[in-house]
């Protein structure tokens, strides 16, 4: 089928949602027996739904040949590589991984179905999951918090899977625990005929074919004697099928039934039979994708009829041995609706068996520690060199109530007393009445100053200090309340168990912490330091720091008492952007945001520069002048695309970087930009050139003013002369009139 994409808030999956992911290059669903259940999708960056592939979105796809379509939630969107993005998702049941239980599951006889229902009913966050099981047996089940819902099902000691066994099937919102999920269809795979894998060959080569039993037994004189079989080894039934015998050295000194050669042989034969020596462990990965076009495909075609948890017979042709194996992992091609890969082997480890593996590794590590050997030797020497003692049946042989081992034969005078009765076994250094500082009671309590042991298995360890070289833990939890003075915040640390890493400071009287540091391994894959509302649990978005290799550093306030440096590579750039559009290397999809400051300073000291010369003396000035730049560079009115997308319609004014001469641009990034420092320098140069022009014009104006002044002075002199001349003419006309010239006018 073609996978379908839905929004993360979708609740109805009976329609096509946001659309079908028809352009997907690949869609593989991987499911392990009681293990991971994930889908990985390869999708082109040019695909129609590329922008909708976000964390939390849901993909519905076919997971195998038999199950209904399943919902998978996106938890990782990779970077685009060669035009393709890798989308990683996990099954919707992983939602329970981040859903803690509110309270303990109280002890009581339950079926697994009832126990799972109890777990799902005690979660902090509401959900739609239901549980079902075909296992009818009941156990006295209880579960202690803190615990997450999904780990309570199958991810911790004491979980449903740990107590009831079985095989999980996660069917969308229904969680099913089968007694046996798969079946045996009689499918036989002939290994070694046409199918050979390096992993299986290694498993065959490491198969033990025989056993060399031995034991150290008491020799009767305080020492020990080594016993072995006369023939040294016992061969398995299939030993002759192997080219070289591989013998297991097995120590039976711990077996109290081994006292001589005959009993050693009996114990060794039982070990040989119970552990199936001579039978190779199946570790076979069949890749259909590599065999579809080959002759060998017909040899494994029958495997396409099987499903997860089915049983298959693997026939080892060279050894003439047949072994039953489970299908423990499948990789299903949801686009082609066929298997790409199937893994056969012993059931894969779940968390409960992983705990056992860790304990075994600890056993092996501790066995080699010198301090444990010293403790063994000290105990042996103490018992072998014990002082004379007195064994007393108390109060009498006819009414035996206690066995006493004392340093005297009188309970009134004895100081060192071993006392064994129906209440338990204990030792006192202060006489029969006690104080008893070492012992164990009939109801399971052990008291001691110091216990030396190779392996300590416990549900709870309560104490003050635990020292050691290593700890293998699925969940580490610590809670400590510092002493006064106030305020007292409880320091709570949890690592693992589905929370990744969590450190918080919480008042006991408040439901939520005031501060928390957390790392989420099934979500944002980052580290967060958050201030929290102690009453509501809401994170204060103005008081949070997040670190992520996928999203960088998120902090509302970046602060320093002194200098604050932002570093980059020598060719690097610093951009203020809308963080949701971030992509390494930049690109046209990035939206830029304003930056606010009192001032911007540019490093421009002469100590940072060389080849300094005045612009007017440089070769640049032969090519450009500030006047030419001002004249040639246009100013435009425009709208930013990102503003238009947000319906901000006011226009801005500014430059078009692509139209600017290189002297005003900075082309070192992913997009053409204006260099404001260069622009301001050229504007300053333009102002200087204007000052020079203004000085020339001013000198010309001064000359014109002087010329005008002289002209005005000369005109004034001429005017005065004209005035005197007019006065003389007036006098002459008067005289002429007097003497009879009547025709004289003014």
- Mean pLDDT, the chain cut into blocks of 10 residues (746 residues total): 94 94 96 94 95 95 92 94 94 92 84 92 93 90 87 86 92 94 76 48 65 87 86 82 79 86 91 76 62 49 72 67 80 90 68 37 45 71 74 82 89 89 90 88 81 66 62 72 76 76 84 83 69 87 78 76 76 75 71 78 84 84 79 88 78 87 74 84 86 88 91 91 90 85 69
What is the reported pLDDT for 315? 65
Give start and end residues of each alpha helix (H) in 165-232: 198-205
Query: Could you give the CA distance from residue 132 to residue 461 in angstroms, rounded to a whole number?
Result: 34
Distance (Å, rounded) from C-alpha 17 to C-alpha 466? 54
- pLDDT for res 367: 45
Q: What is the pLDDT of residue 650?
A: 84
Nearest in space to 23 (alpha carbons), one of 1, 5, 50, 47: 47
Q: Are 620 and 678 in contact (CB under 8 A)?
A: no
Q: Name 677's Cβ contacts closer than 8 Å, sequence gap at least 6.
A: 602, 604
The full set of domain ranges for the chain reads: 4-95, 99-178, 185-328+338-352, 386-447, 475-565
Calpha distance 71→38 (Å, rounded): 10
Helix segments in 206-340, DSSP class H: 261-274, 288-291, 297-300
Can you tell me whether residue 560 is helix, strand or coil? Answer: coil
Element (H, E) at 632: helix 626-632
pLDDT at 355: 31
Instruction: Extract the tokens encoding 462.
Output: 């309560």
pLDDT of res. 40: 97
| Helix (H) / strand (E) containing 371 | helix 370-384
pLDDT for the residue 363: 45
pTM, two decimals, is 0.44
175 close to 93: Cβ distance less than 8 angstroms? yes
- Give 724's contacts (C-beta < 8 A, 6+ positions apart): none
Question: Residue 184 pairs with which residues in a beta bridge?
Answer: 311
Q: Name the burial class of residue 330, with classes exposed (0-12), middle (13-18) and buried (19+) by CB atoms within 10 angstroms of its CB.
A: buried
Determine the Cα–Cα distance for residues 211 and 274; give it in Å rounded to an integer: 13
pLDDT for 26 equals 95
The DSSP call for residue 726 is H
What beta strand segments (E) does 533-616 contain? Answer: 539-548, 552-554
**Euclidean distance between the first and the last CA atom of the chain, given in angstroms as a whole number:** 122
Helix runs in 65-218, H state only: 112-120, 149-154, 160-164, 198-205
CA-to-CA distance for 385 and 305, rounded, in angstroms? 69
pLDDT for 362 equals 39
Q: Which residues have CB under 8 Å from 118's CB, separation 6+?
A: 105, 110
Report which of 454, 275, 485, 432 is spatially closest to residue 374, judged by C-alpha positions. Answer: 454
pLDDT at 61: 96
Decide if 225 contacts 285 (C-beta within 8 A): no
């Amino acid at each position: 089928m073609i996978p379908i994409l839905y929004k993360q808030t979708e609740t109805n999956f009976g329609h096509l949602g946001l659309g079908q992911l028809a352009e997907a290059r690949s869609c593989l669903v991987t499911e392990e027996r009681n293990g991971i259940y994930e889908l990985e999708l390869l999708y082109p960056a040019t695909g129609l739904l590329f922008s909708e592939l976000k964390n939390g979105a849901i993909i519905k796809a076919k997971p195998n040949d038999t199950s209904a379509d399943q919902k998978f939630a996106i938890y990782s969107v990779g970077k685009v590589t060669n035009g393709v993005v890798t989308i990683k998702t996990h099954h919707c049941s992983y939602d329970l991984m981040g859903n803690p239980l509110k309270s303990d599951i109280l002890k009581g006889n339950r079926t697994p179905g009832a126990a799972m229902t109890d777990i799902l009913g005690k979660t902090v966050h509401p959900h739609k999951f239901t549980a079902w099981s075909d296992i009818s047996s009941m156990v006295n089940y209880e579960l202690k918090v803190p615990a997450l819902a999904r780990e309570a099902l199958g991810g911790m000691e004491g979980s449903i899977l740990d107590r009831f066994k079985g095989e999980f099937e996660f069917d969308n919102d229904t969680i099913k625990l089968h007694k046996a999920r798969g079946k045996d269809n009689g499918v036989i795979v002939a290994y070694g005929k046409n199918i050979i894998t390096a992993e299986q060959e290694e498993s065959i080569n490491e198969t033990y074919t025989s056993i060399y039993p031995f034991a150290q037994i008491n020799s009767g004189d305080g020492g020990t004697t080594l016993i072995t079989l006369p023939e040294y080894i016992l061969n398995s039934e299939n030993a002759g099928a192997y080219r070289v015998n591989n013998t297991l050295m097995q120590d039976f000194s711990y077996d109290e039934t081994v006292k001589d050669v005959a009993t050693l042989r009996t114990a060794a034969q039982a070990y040989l039979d119970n552990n199936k020596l001579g039978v190779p462990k199946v570790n076979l990965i069949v890749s259909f994708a590599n065999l579809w076009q080959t002759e060998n495909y017909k040899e494994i075609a029958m495997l396409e009829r099987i499903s997860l948890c089915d049983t298959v017979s693997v026939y080892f042709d060279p050894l003439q041995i047949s072994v039953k194996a489970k299908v423990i992992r499948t990789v299903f091609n949801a686009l082609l609706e066929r298997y790409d890969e199937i893994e056969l082997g012993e059931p894969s480890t779940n968390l409960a068996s992983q705990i056992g593996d860790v304990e075994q590794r600890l056993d092996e590590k501790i066995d080699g520690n010198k301090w444990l050997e010293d403790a063994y030797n000290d105990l042996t020497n103490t018992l072998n060199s014990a002082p004379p003692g007195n064994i007393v049946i108390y109060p009498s042989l006819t009414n035996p109530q206690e066995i006493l081992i004392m340093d005297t034969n009188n309970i009134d005078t004895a100081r060192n007393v071993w006392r064994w009765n129906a209440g338990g076994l204990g030792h006192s250094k202060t006489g029969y009445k006690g104080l008893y500082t070492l012992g164990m009671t009939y109801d399971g309590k052990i008291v001691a100053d110091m216990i030396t042991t190779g392996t300590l298995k416990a549900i709870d360890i309560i104490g003050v200090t635990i020292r050691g070289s290593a700890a293998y833990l699925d969940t580490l939890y610590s809670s400590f309340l510092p002493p006064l003075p106030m305020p007292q915040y409880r320091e709570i640390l949890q690592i693992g168990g589905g929370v990744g890493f969590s450190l918080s400071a919480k008042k006991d009287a408040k439901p939520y912490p005031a501060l928390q540091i957390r790392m989420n391994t099934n979500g944002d894959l980052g580290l967060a330091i958050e201030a929290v509302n102690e009453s509501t649990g809401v994170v204060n978005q103005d008081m949070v720091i997040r670190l992520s290799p996928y999203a960088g550093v998120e902090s509302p306030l970046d602060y320093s008492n002194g200098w604050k440096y932002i570093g980059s590579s020598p060719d690097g750039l610093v951009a203020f952007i809308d963080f949701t559009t971030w992509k390494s290397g930049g690109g046209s999809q990035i939206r830029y945001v304003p930056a606010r400051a009192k001032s911007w300073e540019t490093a421009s000291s002469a100590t940072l520069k060389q080849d300094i010369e005045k612009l007017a003396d440089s070769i640049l000035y032969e090519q450009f002048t500030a006047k030419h730049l001002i004249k040639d560079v246009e100013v435009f009115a425009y709208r930013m695309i990102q503003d238009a997308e947000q319906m901000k319609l006011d226009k801005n004014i500014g430059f078009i970087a692509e139209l600017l001469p290189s002297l005003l641009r900075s082309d070192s990034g992913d997009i053409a930009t204006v260099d404001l420092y260069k622009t301001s320098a050229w504007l300053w140069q333009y102002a200087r050139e204007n000052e020079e022009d203004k000085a020339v014009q001013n000198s010309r104006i001064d000359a014109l003013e002087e010329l005008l002044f002289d002209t005005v002075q000369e005109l004034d002199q001429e005017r005065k002369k004209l005035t005197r001349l007019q006065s003389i003419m007036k006098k002459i006309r008067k005289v002429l009139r007097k003497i009879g010239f009547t025709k004289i006018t003014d």
